[in-house]
Chain A
Amino acid sequence: RKEVEQDPGPFNVPEGATVAFNCTYSNSASQSFFWYRQDCRKEPKLLMSVYSSGNEDGRFTAQLNRASQYISLLIRDSKLSDSATYLCVVTRPSGSARQLTFGSGTQLTVLP
């Protein structure tokens, strides 16, 4: 079983739609959680951190359920520019450092 699992998609949605992505992680020692965005043939960039209390940044809402080891990202009123691959990222202790594990990503295409 992969340490971080995501539905690869692709998700094809019309502009203005609401879309949700899910991510599960297997290591209960995981400490921090993030969503990164990767545009085609570009490097990943941090989208937002994910907190236990849930957090919102404009049209984006991230939720964490530690008991279920589950993370979600909700995008409301989707725009064409939201088309990208969304990567779920989990960190855990690794010796004196932190190990980041990336999911394989969920591909989103917003259609006009």
Chain B
Amino acid sequence: GAGVSQSPSNKVTEKGKDVELRCDPISGHTALYWYRQRLGQGLEFLIYFQGNSAPDKSGLPSDRFSAERTGESVSTLTIQRTQQEDSAVYLCASSSASGGETQYFGPGTRLLVL
């Protein structure tokens, strides 16, 4: 079936504007993760959703960042009042409950804040 998809693939915004990034996980995958990857850096965990459990938000860097997921479907990551340091690739991954740790990544959204 289809893999993880993300939109938009690229986003250029002005400092101070809000942006919303979307992730469509693989159908049937109960776990969904958001990561941030700055240029030349490793992946930085942001937030994790597992089924209907409360999300693990421990990686969100500030209260400007929030994410939602309805059930086991689409998730949106919202960054309010964007700053230049928010420029990065935002990667979404999903995994099945049974194969917990094998994560399938989407192609990412490249965000540039001017």
Contact = CB atoms under 8 A, between A and B. Distances in A.
Interface of B: 33, 35, 41-43, 45, 48, 50, 53, 56, 58, 91, 100-103, 105-108
Nearest to B42: A104
Contact of B107 (A43, A99, A103, A105): A43
The bracket for how many chain A residues form the interface is 20 to 34
B43 A87 contact: yes
A99 B105 CA distance: 16
7 contacts: A43-B105, A49-B102, A94-B56, A97-B56, A99-B45, A99-B56, A101-B45
Interface in A62-112: 87, 89, 91, 94-105
B50 to A, nearest CB: 5
A98 B106 contact: no
A46 interface: yes
Nearest to A33: B101
Contact of A100 (B58, B101, B106, B107): B101
Contact of A97 (B43, B53, B107): B53
A32 interface: yes
Contacts of B35: 102
A43 B56 contact: no
A21 interface: no
Contacts of A35: none
A75 to B, nearest CB: 20
Interface centre among A42, A46, A97, A102 (most CB of B within 10 A): A97
Given A44-B103, A101-B45, A102-B35, 19 more contacts: A43-B106, A43-B107, A43-B108, A44-B105, A46-B102, A49-B101, A49-B102, A94-B48, A94-B56, A95-B56, A96-B50, A96-B53, A97-B48, A98-B100, A99-B48, A99-B56, A100-B33, A103-B42, A105-B42
